Structure 1
Amino acid sequence: MTAREFNFDGLVGPTHHHAGLSRGNLASQEHRAAVSNPRAAALQGLAKMRALADRGHAQALLPPQPRPDWNLLAAVGFAGRDAATLDRAGREAPALLAAAWSAAAMWTANAASVSPSADCADGRVHFTVANLNAKLHRAGEQRFTARLLRRVFGNASHFVVHDALPASPALGDEGAANQVRLAASHGEPGVELFVYGASAFDPSRPAPKRFVARQTDEAGRAIARLHGLAPGRVVHAQQHPAAVDAGVFHNDVIALGQRDLLLAHELAFADEDGTLAALRRALDPLPLRHLRVSSIELSLADAVRSYLFNGQLLDRPDGRFTLVVPAECRRIDSVARWLDDRLDAGDAIADVLVCELGESMRNGGGPACLRLRVALTAEEAAAVHPGVLFTPALHARLADWVGRHYRDRLVADDLRDPALAAEVARALAELETLLDLPGLYTRD
């Protein structure tokens, strides 16, 4: 079966700001209270989409979540007229107010776990919405995400969208950021690797000491069952605790894969040899190409600062790959040397595409964070809501929309401004029309 991989990038929302809400994400913490530029953030994301589409890759987008989250504010005791609610929350609980305005859904790799139809027992593409319950500012995303995915992937003959797993630390799930799929091609049955930071029920396994692991083994196993994956085609592996403590809060900050290639730091997995052996058994007879990066070549600190492993591997006709990386990878000497060595070696990575994503990077998200990978057959692609499929014309309309509606400066005090809430409501109402998704932002 023939299939093509689509990148569904998150359209950065108009409330992108640096509140430092994500402990364990070093960039988020470092830039807490910095001035953000929502307009630049959105335009940088759109430029990345355009760059990939111009190279012939299948590109689509998912719109931002409605903000502020009035339901969250009401649930914690801030209810009433909008202006009074924002003012009181800003005075009494500014961190809760920042959480209600969070634009973290722009990192669409956390939206859901995805299994293509070639892997699933019923021959349909399966999505499980991530519960994201490790962080308050993200835990409320799941409701809108489920609604959105059911609008975009609404054809039940081709797609299944599962609700998020129960909101419990035992089933902590952060979506596709902890999932890697390897296969001969996107349309062939593949092997799905689910990476977790801890087990909820087995205290004998090693655990990080500095930061709490967000993804559990139990969540990955539940998703594999929900998606109807063949047990022999699934591998579950634990993240190295040292990596988590170094700021690797998701697997996609330390490893990535595409087709038969796994690019990973030597400290990506708690049991590197066992993980690789399990992948080779599951992939057999397809050989695994393993590109290992040692700590001598690249320290964990530089891996986290650069987000090298949060890049994207894009297919090329010659069987090699284009590696998409943030501009920081060229600004850090050890990473730049590694990239040059790979290009000189002439191995799996044929070229490097550098993207300027500074606004996203300052909150701890690189190229891979911004997109959800979905492999689709031609028939499945035809069943996707067409309004979100990326075209040059849509890019132009969205760039104009961003220019008219987004601020170029946002700080914490602005979150108390009812004018900002009104601006966002007007912007999202227009976006519904641009993407042909009427009623998407109807306020509950």
Structure 2
Amino acid sequence: MQFFSRARFHYSWIIAGVVFLALLAAAGMRSTPSVLLVPLEHEFSWSPATVSLAVSINLCFYGLSGPFVAAIMERFGIRRVMVIALLLIALAAGATVFMREPWQLDLLWGLLVGLATGAIASVLGTIIANRWFVKRRGLVLGLFSASNATGQLVFLPVLASLAVTFGWRSAALTTAAAALVVVPLVAIFMRERPQDMGLPPYGSDVVEATDPASTQAQNPFRTAIQGLILGLRSPDFWLLAGSFFICGATTNGLIGTHLIPASMDHGITEVTAASLLALIGIFDLIGTTVSGWLSDRVDNRWLLCWYYGLRGCALLLLPYALGSSFLYLAVFIVFYGLDWVATVPPTARLATEIFGIRNAGVVYGWIFASHQLGAATAAFSAGLLRTWLGSYQVSFISAGLLCLCASGMVIRIGRRPRVRKQVVSDTLVRADAPVVDGIS
């Protein structure tokens, strides 16, 4: 590996590429239920609430696994956890073709796929960015977040076309195959830390020493719970987690799950609706990458304030856009798409700056868990309201108003100066630097 120490090209970019592909594949797998929602209703006569419950379980376990996965990766290694997670996704997605009862959907796509994709999520991106990058960390976080949009762009139109042409089982098998394709890339190219290769992180000239014995001695469950305790003692954690709860509710939970069936309610075909969701992914790829770049240069609280405010306005427009001309729907796609997950880089940066690099993976894991709890809540409640009321209008308007509330919440982060010096445990240590306005 001496070549990489002498060459300008740093191995961290290979790591970033592998993680980007893994996140992209996982994003496509997570978006699959939105394509399967209507076909499952038609074949098994399941109500929207029944199918939405499985999606809600998936999103819930996807988020709750985050902090524990972060601790498990510290204990057993990133590469090993990623390979096992991808194999579990392939097994569970492939087994769905044999299901006949709702509980089987809840188990396979809800529990198993939810837990496995939780290991390949933005928590993984945060750990990799903090370990491998000093410079361009915000940009890398933006690229990792943008993989969600790229996954939609690549998978959704293909899966929707397969579901319409060959049936929903072909879409599920394609998802399983995509997970298997990524496994060898992770197994061959993934590395734990730049120090293991005798390299400094990108943007640094210092090769930091690691203590493998102390890493292996960590108890993952204890580390995760200590991270939660550390967060709960901070008002900033509550603001970040609360705003991210709303973020999840208004993205993965509502639009990611229900935009396709809502569009079909207004006479738009399933393939066209999936293409609209993929188009949102194109603009999100742009918006999230730029957001990562901006997070290195602009106050992240103000970035979040603008993102939530614009998203709220877009969601309030959506019920009108679906029932009117394509022009208004195009306006929604552009404005909503630009900040679909643009909130991730500034939220991750704030978590790192407030709680320190050593704690960021686990603490951000709990913040991300809040995001997915919000997504799970919205996925189920929107399906339930659709069953009761016959439309998604109330869900869209409520989501828009929640985003405006989140816009006011994030600007309050870090308002009270304080000094963080308390040692919480051997593995979770608060930053020693004084904090002004909550930012170290």
Normalising by structure 1, what TM-score? 0.24
Higher normalized contact order (CA 8 Å, seq sep 6+, divided by chain length): 2
Normalising by structure 2, what TM-score? 0.25
Give the structure with the larger strand fraction: 1
